[in-house]
Structure 1
């Protein structure tokens, strides 16, 4: 950019349990509602994949003088890395050249086939670093998240109503040069076709906040609703307002929005209380410094923001996935999960289908729980075969499991009663299955 979670306590668990009882959480034996078609959710963006891209960007910098700055070989190598991934995934890529400070710069544009080009949703991040370091949080984090989300579009073979275009900008650190060049060279008729631009700049700060741009109300609310579903409060982004590539689009009247986890500004006590981390310390102490390495990333923030990016893209492009007419079935009956108790199940009956389930059966899960690391989750096929979706983990200290898993269920008959089985294997926290769905 040009510019944790509190520990577990018995008291906290008791409060959480009281809250569930006050809300009328159902008994364990609650029956699932009838299955019904449901809208498809965005996929979970694998944190490991995003971090693998960060490792590649770090290696590129190390092999090219320690940075990925405009006009330096590390920047062009970064462009080549991203382009190769997108080309292999079926995108149509274009490298746009410009000149700044006597050096050639590059923007990388990638279009996903299909969708109404008269309503184009753009998603972008700047790919360059400052000259003093590898720029892993600023902004390999945003670049990697946008890349992995684009690859998720390809894996899902998304068929959105709107056309999708992804972009990686050059020379942002010199004053938004690359994105400004792109926008200024678009004819007015082409600008009018861009329905919105989403920007991701510094989304893995080590002492993170959760900031949402407040430029376009629809985009803003899309992000806010996603984080509200995780139980994560957000604030309006002000530190870098107008200092990242969304400004190039906003200045010509294109609706914009985006996410940010903080740069050099100090985290307040109130912010530390609601987000965790350290009050009185910068959100990113390595902002524009040589220590902005792969060690300068908060995994939880990077994971949440990457998933939020996918959620916004799927929602704002109104996409569906192949095959056309694929059906989803959902149970919305709440099922309480006892603390350190026996496994509970929620069932979805599937009828009227022929043959076996798909090799990419999508299992959307919405579980409200005060410590998701306690949970073991399985999908149980009609013949009783179990597919592990999630293991318990003492280090997974966030709330809730709201994600979509993909299961190779091609050996299973599609028709029959499918079950989601959930067990809380540790003490002091509680929750319930809110809803879940299968997409064939």
Structure 2
């Protein structure tokens, strides 16, 4: 977190109006009726901790810090980028110059979602020159990295588009995030419906602070903590001192979490949160002792889970009710001893992959079923054979097949393909449906 301290400019009414246009709901409009919001995953503390251990090792190998313009920062960016590339993200390095040195922002987009409705989460990755910056801000950087990886592991397909960012030169005055926002065309700015900032979320004497900028984002975090029975306070210590400020200044709804820096924890705060009153939230703030030992695991675990909770809830995916059916009842003629034909259904509103017991309803009217080869084709082109000239001279294929489609992304165009491989008999596809349990 930078030491620059611009004060809050109140714009609650404007932000509330923006929120109503972009963040007022978690139900995907394309999903079947009756669905419920997809639950966010638990973010493994051990994984977040491992990212911090890796960032500490990078600092140790590069003069003890990960500051802008130093080799430790570039190594940190490369470390995060490699993990995201392997997880299927589209990544881009954005360069800028500050203090005569090249700086880097890393932007990572998860494929899919409405490109006109972007939910963005960011953290600064640089440290000060005095130390490795593990709480400030390895903690936020590691938490959003692991959340991004959880998105990939889940095959999550939200309604809105997800973008993650790691900022450079924050400690010099929000240089990286300012560069990004200033170079984002006005048309692209309007697509960002929420920016979530995470700067210092594992402080050793922690508090639980929530930004009060955008009402919808603020309430999302408050709901999460209310579910844990953990009281929160409005964040004031770091207001304007981190990378949400450039977004807020151009009218983008912002929010975030903070566990405290160099302010002193009061007796009342210690009573409700534990820890030590009369001591700063982070005694190693901007110091060489901001190492992996300078982390409160409970705070880091809770806040990392809160990151995922907000991403999942604000990005708008739903899970359909039990037995959701996608069906096409249009007739498709199957030529005698001819080319293959298809019937299609478009699956929407289902997060992640298809089930291991996907029900495929086939209704083919034909005078000799033994002539037919019938396949299910997944959105990526994978083929699952359902019938291969079986059944002899019997009429019709009217049955439900069970397919293990768990490696396939659920949403997309699925096809039933039928081909007659012998002469003298004819028929048609009468219906095709997929039932998700």
Fold equivalence (TM over 0.5): yes
Question: Counterpart of 1:100?
Answer: 98
**Root-mean-square deviation over aligned CA pairs:** 2.2
Question: Counterpart of 1:390?
Answer: none
CA distance in 2, matches of 1:295, 1:139: 14
CA offsets, 1:120-146, max 9 Å, x none?
Answer: 011000000000000000000000000
Question: Counterpart of 2:265?
Answer: 267
Structure 1 residue corresponding to 2:205, chosen from 204, 207, 232: 207
CA distance in 2, matches of 1:38, 1:195: 22
Instruction: Give the unaligned 5+ runs of structure 1.
Output: 4-35, 328-351, 361-438
1:246 deviates by: 0.2
TM-score by length of 1: 0.67
Matched, 1:2 2:2: yes
Q: What secondary structure does 1:117 align onto?
A: strand
Structure 2 residue corresponding to 1:90, chosen from 88, 94, 98: 88
CA distance in 2, matches of 1:61, 1:86: 20
Structure 1 residue corresponding to 2:161, chosen from 163, 182, 185: 163
CA offsets, 1:60-94, max 9 Å, x none?
Answer: 00000000000000000000000000000000000
Matched, 1:323 2:359: no
Question: Counterpart of 2:52?
Answer: 54
Structure 1 residue corresponding to 2:287, chosen from 289, 308, 317: 289
CA contact (8 A) 2:355 2:404 kept: no
CA offsets, 1:282-308, max 9 Å, x none?
Answer: 000000000000000000000000000
Q: What secondary structure does 1:278 align onto?
A: coil
CA distance in 1, matches of 2:205, 2:294: 9
Count of residues paired in the alignment:
306
Question: Counterpart of 1:30?
Answer: none
Distance 1:100 1:280, change over 3 A: same
Question: Counterpart of 1:172?
Answer: 170
Instruction: Give the unaligned 5+ runs of structure 2.
Output: 4-33, 319-350, 358-399, 409-435
1:261 deviates by: 0.1
Question: Counterpart of 2:250?
Answer: 252
Structure 1 residue corresponding to 2:118, chosen from 101, 117, 120: 120
1:319 deviates by: 2.4
1:322 deviates by: 2.0
1:393-412 equivalence runs, <5 A: none
Q: What secondary structure does 1:158 align onto?
A: coil
Structure whose alpha-carbon radius of gyration is higher: 2
CA offsets, 1:376-403, max 9 Å, x none?
Answer: xxxxxxxxxxxxxxxxxxxxxxxxxxxx
1:323 deviates by: 2.7
CA distance in 2, matches of 1:267, 1:97: 38
